[in-house]
């Protein structure tokens, strides 16, 4: 249940951004969450609703884009998407890989009104 | 209106983890982050490890527990520097709590710090704490399907200890399927089969720790 920790951090960052930009209401938060992360979108939404009540972010929509796990093979440079937890180059079979994406946990933007 | 942020949610934690990692490198201290489910044998492993190294190196332990100091009490007999972090319900340690714990040690006098993370296969693997390496511990009684169910930990770890090998015959732990799954997720992850209570397989672990300390320039 580390969703609450993650959502608390999100909340802190978006409130600071809203203040800097003099927003009176936050209506949507656009997030990128890598598929390697053990984060349940439903739990994140639940946690967000629990902590955002009575703030300018109350009722805001959490738009969560799940980012594919992509790897670059260190042996043959092939770039591929990891499916079914298989971390092996689909071209040459090597397991020496560089992570390109999948561990992302990023606030892309917020939408709101001044 | 839309305002671009492009900020990592765990930036604060990751920055602190980087600070810790740099601090420990400059002080020549190895910090290992031990992650497993509750009851896998982490504390028993630590007892054997502290016992083995305590006269040779300066060892300290940080115990992460949701509540109670039970694990720490089991290590008190070794008279080593020991800090308990009670997370008050949180399912993982973070770099801020580790930084506070480090403040309570005399860093001039330490070689290796073992962190026993909160018993949990999910959350601790998401939070870097400035460790030199994560070590995953799994016991045969938990079942052979855990790597496939919690892949992140087995991707992030540099070593895995498969504990309670002595109990394997009494369980339905299927070694073949375990190694097949693990190979798929992380072919390069070394596995040490051990039975901590029977003192079996521990030499491989002790050697790994020492090699890690040598590679880090901590011991010669």
Domain locations in chain A as residue ranges: 3-67+102-113
- Please state the pTM of the whole predicted model: 0.93
Give pLDDT tens digits for A24-47.
999 999 999 999 999 999 999 999
Give pLDDT tens digits for A61-106.
999 999 999 999 999 999 999 999 999 999 999 999 999 999 999 9
CATH code where residue B81 lies: 3.40.50.300
**From first to last of its 220 residues, what are the pLDDT tens digits of chain B?**
999 999 999 999 999 999 999 999 999 999 999 999 999 999 999 999 999 999 999 999 999 988 777 888 888 999 999 999 988 778 899 999 999 999 999 999 999 999 999 989 988 999 999 999 999 999 999 999 999 999 999 999 999 999 999 999 999 999 999 999 999 999 999 999 999 999 999 999 999 999 999 998 888 7
Fold classification of A3-67+102-113 is hypothetical protein PF0899 fold (3.30.2320)
Residue of B6, B10, B13 with shortest CB distance to A108: B6
Cα distance between the two ends of chain B: 59
The verdict on residue B5 lying in a domain is no
The ipTM (two decimal places) reads 0.88
Cα–Cα distance, B47 to B156 (Å, whole number): 24
CA distance B4 to chain A (A): 4
Predicted local distance difference test score (pLDDT) of residue B219: 83
Residues of B in contact with A23 (CB under 8 A): 1, 3
Range of the domain at B85: 13-215
Cα–Cα distance, A28 to B120 (Å, whole number): 32
How many domains is chain B partitioned into structurally?
1
The verdict on residue B4 lying in a domain is no
Residues of chain A whose beta carbon is less than 8 angstroms from a beta carbon of chain B are 1-2, 5-6, 9-10, 13-14, 17, 21, 23, 31, 36-39, 84-88, 95-96, 105-114
The verdict on residue B52 lying in a domain is yes
The verdict on residue B220 lying in a domain is no
Residue B218 burial by CB count (10 A; 0-12/13-18/19+): exposed, middle or buried? buried
Contact B123 A109 (CB under 8 A): no
């Amino acid at each position: 249940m580390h969703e609450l920790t993650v959502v608390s951090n999100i909340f802190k960052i978006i409130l600071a951004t809203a203040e800097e930009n003099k927003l009176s209401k936050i209506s949507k938060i656009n997030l990128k969450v890598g598929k390697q992360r053990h984060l349940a979108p439903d739990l994140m939404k639940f946690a967000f609703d629990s902590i955002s009540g009575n703030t300018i972010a109350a009722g805001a929509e959490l738009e969560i884009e799940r980012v594919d796990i992509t790897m670059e093979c260190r042996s043959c440079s092939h770039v591929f998407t990891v499916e079914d937890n298989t971390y092996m180059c689909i071209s040459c079979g090597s397991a020496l890989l560089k992570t390109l994406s999948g561990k992302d946990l990023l606030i892309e933007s917020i939408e709101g009104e001044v | 209106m839309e305002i671009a942020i492009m900020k990592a949610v765990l930036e604060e934690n990751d920055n602190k983890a980087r600070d810790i990692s740099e601090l420990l490198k400059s002080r020549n201290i190895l910090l290992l982050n031990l992650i497993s489910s509750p009851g896998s044998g982490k504390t028993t492993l630590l007892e054997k490890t502290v016992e083995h190294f305590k006269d040779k190196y300066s060892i300290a332990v940080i115990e992460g527990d949701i509540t109670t100091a039970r694990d720490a009490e089991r290590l008190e007999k070794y008279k080593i520097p020991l800090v308990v972090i009670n997370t008050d319900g949180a399912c993982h340690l973070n770099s801020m709590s580790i930084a506070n714990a480090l403040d309570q040690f005399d860093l001039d006098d330490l070689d290796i710090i073992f962190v026993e993370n909160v018993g949990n296969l999910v959350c601790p693997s998401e939070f870097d704490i400035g460790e030199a390496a994560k070590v995953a511990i799994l016991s045969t009684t938990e079942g052979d399907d855990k790597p496939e169910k919690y892949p992140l930990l087995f991707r992030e770890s540099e070593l895995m200890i498969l504990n309670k090998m002595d109990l394997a015959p009494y369980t339905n732990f299927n070694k073949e399927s375990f190694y097949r799954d693990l190979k798929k997720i992380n072919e390069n992850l070394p596995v040490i089969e051990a039975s901590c209570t029977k003192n079996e397989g521990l030499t491989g672990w002790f050697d790994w720790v020492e090699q890690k300390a040598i590679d880090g320039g901590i011991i010669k």
